[in-house]
Amino acid sequence: MSAQTDRDFWSNAQRHLIRYGGTFSPVIIERASGSHVYDSTGRAILDFTSGQMSAILGHSHPEIADVIAESARSLTHLFSGMLSRPVVDLATRLAGIAPKGLERSLLLSTGGEANEAAIKIAKLVTGRHEIISFAQSWHGMTGGAASATYSAGRKGYGPAAVGSFAIPAPNPYRPRFERNGAYDWAAELDYAFDLIDRQSCGSLAAFIAEPILSSGGLIELPQGYMRALKAKCAERGMLLIVDEAQTGMGRTGTMFACEHDGVVPDILTLSKTLGAGLPLAAVLTTQEIENQAHERGFLFYTTHVSDPMPAAVGLKVIEIIERDGLVERAGEMGTRLRDGLESLQSRFECIGDVRGRGLMLGIEIVGNRSTKAAAPALSAAITRRCLELGLHMNIVQLPGLGDVFRLAPPLTIAEAEVDRGLSIIEQAIEESVSM
């Protein structure tokens, strides 16, 4: 494309787009394939965020493209009261791979929708209205989901939903509670629920949790935490909703991240990874909860509820994940990537922490390892240089944390691409710290 065409592009973008958060990357993306996106100059950029943490099969997967083409020719969209084979088949497949007992599905379009529906189900079934989530959480931008989102976007929109509470997410790198010199997340959880019990009006409906808080700084719940959280919910007659928008479908080395603790939530929500980059989400729950919700008049019509085209895509995504062993591959490639990051940590003082699981990893950049102070200027320089060198990563900057790079490449990523990404990160840090 010509320089004039690019100038027109940015002029039109500036004039006609509503800015919805942050800034746009200074590149025009023309196409994407596999683990790369390609800008208007034809330059390949290694995509370590899988689009919006979603494209677990890489971009433009040929089998997904074939499913879309076939669906476009035959069946894309229906009235909400009509059912198609892809929808029933996907619900059946999800029941077969989900944690035991989660046999009922509602198919939607986005993670925000799925969490909205899950929260409504929890309120309806329990007859209560109070919802708890983590203070670093992200569950969506619609009413109930936004009220349970604390990492960003709460200011200026008026009151959140009545009965919205937050507790701190456990953070071993920045511990708040210690016992005998070690992080004591159990004491922290006990204290948090003591505060919740004091503030609650006796109407606790559900806790909604991410197994790894992505937008919250790639904070992984410690081993045993989710099991303890499920017990806290059970003691109070609450439901546990687990939001696996980013962790589901094999990304962490198990099909679902909640399997790490052997926990079966009352409600499980899936989105981003289920459609591998296409708009597909699901709410999974038990027969008992679904029956209770139905008997009490559960209503959740959306324009694209139970649409056949995305359901057909979801079926193919599951088929490819299982056929190609991508759950195991996420573990293997995640180990390769983590080993490389920890090697860089041993060289560069600015890497305070490496964390995460499978192909969902984070590196926290700090200005001083002792104080763990943030280093926003350095982090911004590393981000810019990585993009210049051909690697896209996403950075999370939150109060009380350093600057955390999120690394979530496709599960199909090749060893050479992992190594190339590590090489670019190394060069970008080396050049940025010497500036």
Q: Where are the beta strands (DSSP E) in 113-256?
A: 130-134, 164-167, 178-179, 182-183, 204-209, 212-213, 219-220, 239-243
Instruction: Classify burial at 416, counting beta carbons within 10 Å of its beta carbon; exposed 0-12, middle 13-18, buried 19 or more.
Output: exposed
253 sits in the region (left: phi over 0; alpha: psi -120 to 50; else beta) called: left
Active site residue 246: yes
Fold of 25-54+325-433: Aspartate Aminotransferase, domain 1 (3.90.1150)
Active site residue 266: no
Q: Which of 123, 130, 188, 246 is catalytic?
A: 246
Partnered with residue 269 across adjacent β-strands are 243, 283
66, amino acid identity: D
Q: Which of 272, 329, 338, 385 is catalytic?
A: 272
Active site residue 243: yes
Q: Which of 39, 116, 188, 243 is catalytic?
A: 243
Active site residue 138: yes
Active site residue 210: yes
Cα(287)–Cα(102) distance, integer angstroms: 7
Q: What is the DSSP letter of 175?
A: -
Terminal-residue alpha carbon distance, the chain: 33
Q: Which of 240, 47, 243, 233 is nearest to 145 (CA)?
A: 243
The pTM score is: 0.96
Fold of 64-323: Aspartate Aminotransferase; domain 2 (3.40.640)
Q: Which of 123, 230, 357, 406 is catalytic?
A: 406
pLDDT digit string (tens) for the chain, length 435 residues: 566 788 999 999 999 999 998 889 999 999 999 999 999 999 999 999 999 999 999 999 999 999 999 999 999 999 999 999 999 999 999 999 999 999 999 999 999 999 999 999 999 999 999 999 999 999 999 999 999 999 888 999 999 999 999 999 999 999 999 999 899 999 999 999 999 999 999 999 999 999 999 999 999 999 999 999 999 999 999 999 999 999 999 999 999 999 999 999 999 999 999 999 999 999 999 999 999 999 999 999 999 999 999 999 999 999 999 999 999 999 999 999 999 999 999 999 999 999 999 999 999 999 999 999 999 999 999 999 999 999 999 988 877 777 999 999 999 999 999 999 999 999 999 999 987
Q: What is the DSSP letter of 274?
A: G
Question: What is the three-class DSSP state of 65?
Answer: helix
Unique residue bearing structure tokens 């929708």: 113
Q: Which of 39, 188, 210, 417 is catalytic?
A: 210
Contacts with 189 (C-beta within 8 Å, 6 or more apart), sequence order: 167, 170, 225, 228, 229, 232
Do 58 and 330 contact (CB within 8 A), yes or no? no
Domain ranges of the chain: 25-54+325-433, 64-323
Q: Which of 104, 138, 220, 329 is catalytic?
A: 138
* Tens digits of residue pLDDT in 259-308: 999 999 999 999 999 999 999 999 999 999 999 999 999 999 999 999 99
Unique residue bearing structure tokens 């694209």: 304
